[in-house]
Structure 1
């Protein structure tokens, strides 16, 4: 018989509890938080963009009103395409379009649209360049052409693609009404009105027939009319095209990019 202590009694093993599984952190709260942060950043960006755009537009409007001596409430539209803040950080605006109606052109008025590119936001730098469009209705064109000596500006009418005027030739004490159709063009920066057809007392007639009947008296209607606009616009602006579009006259011009820094280009031009 074996001794009782030959096989000592081993303590019963304690049941080992398996380690508690690690709780997985759910990703959804983080994703939601990230989206909220991104959303707030986007909102802040658009708020900043809106503030910057409004500041640029108001600054441009104020500057134009001051330079042209326009009333404080004179309507001016300013459009800057694209996202504005990167352009401001880059130091220039890629493009800006400014338009307004009834803008003084010398002593007269016209509707003006200017589109400029690479416009610096700091002083002392030239812009890339610009184009300008001046639109004149019949009344505005009559005012402008009234400066041309002996031109019957008060009779001007517009019908695409021509300008029409009416006058009267006097012969032996009798008056003969003459209607003239004029085609507008640009020559050396001046507006030129060239007769294309004539109407004498309601009947069509050509220039040679008119000259035969009235001699030198007809010279006043068979001639070209040249109108120099240079003295009414800055020297840095050059007329490039003119045409009748519907019932308005549209004149296009190129603007020298140096006009923003060069006083000589900002000054009114001269007519020979």
Structure 2
């Protein structure tokens, strides 16, 4: 009897170890399943909410250990990237990080990211300005817009170099230099030669693009990076629950 009891006691730690190993394997398997399933679920929700094409390329990556987050009903962080997506009236490569994502409904805690656009998309954004724009050329950190203005009944070609930026959700174009028929002019020379046209050529342009973006997105920064423009955006956490924030905004 004593020998059998000692045998059972000797086996107990091994049995406990086996149970622990099995539980650990199950937890790892569940974590792997969660990581395999969650991106597809999130992708489907995003595509549905933003009314994107069913075949939209969208990569989703979740941070941290998922099982405790899923049990708690809240994801710590999601990273979403796509090589090309059209949101509102803008098409570009998007990289967005969202934090505090409720799994049972509710607003996001925070979301922000960047959208990279090419010269064609940038030209469309600045088309609402008072500048004569036919072509756009990037020269980091500036942009040169070329066009022509009517002077004394003739069309005079010019090239205006500006530094793009953003303020309070508006796109800014701050003039750096102006070339008219190959001659570089300063602000006073422009005013002397072009009169009322000078103001639109020498003053910082503020362009509202709210009508080209969902109301829940706010442009917080903009800069030239090589042959692209990088737009920083802040996302209203209520965009997932408020349909009006998913619609394009309005300009004053």
TM-score clears 0.5: yes
Higher relative contact order (CA 8 A, sep 6+): 2
Unaligned runs of 5+ residues in structure 2 are: none
Aligned counterpart, 1:156: 136
Deviations 1:184-216 (A, max 9, x none): 222332111111112233333212112212223
In the alignment, which of 27, 32, 40 is matched to residue 50 of structure 1? 32
Separation in 1, partners of 2:144, 2:20:
63
Deviations 1:157-191 (A, max 9, x none): 22211111112234345544321111122233211
Helix, strand or coil at the partner of 1:82: coil
Greater share of residues in strand:
2
Aligned counterpart, 1:194: 174
Aligned counterpart, 1:105: 87
Deviations 1:52-97 (A, max 9, x none): 1222210111122233333332210111111111111111001111
Structure-1-length-normalised TM-score: 0.79
CA displacement at 1:35 relative to structure 2: 5.1
| 1:254–1:217 distance in 2 versus 1, CA, 3 Å | closer
Larger radius of gyration: 1
In the alignment, which of 61, 69, 94 is matched to residue 79 of structure 1? 61
In the alignment, which of 238, 246, 251 is matched to residue 258 of structure 1? 238
Aligned counterpart, 1:234: 214
Separation in 1, partners of 2:238, 2:44:
21
In the alignment, which of 180, 188, 200 is matched to residue 160 of structure 2? 180
In the alignment, which of 142, 161, 167 is matched to residue 123 of structure 2? 142
Deviations 1:83-117 (A, max 9, x none): 11111111100111112232213233122222111
Separation in 2, partners of 1:162, 1:257:
32
Aligned counterpart, 2:44: 62
Separation in 1, partners of 2:124, 2:84:
13
Q: CA RMSD in A?
A: 2.8
Whether the 8 Å contact between 2:178 and 2:185 is mirrored in structure 1 is yes
Separation in 2, partners of 1:205, 1:153:
18
Deviations 1:216-247 (A, max 9, x none): 34344223332212122233322222211222
Unaligned runs of 5+ residues in structure 1 are: 1-20
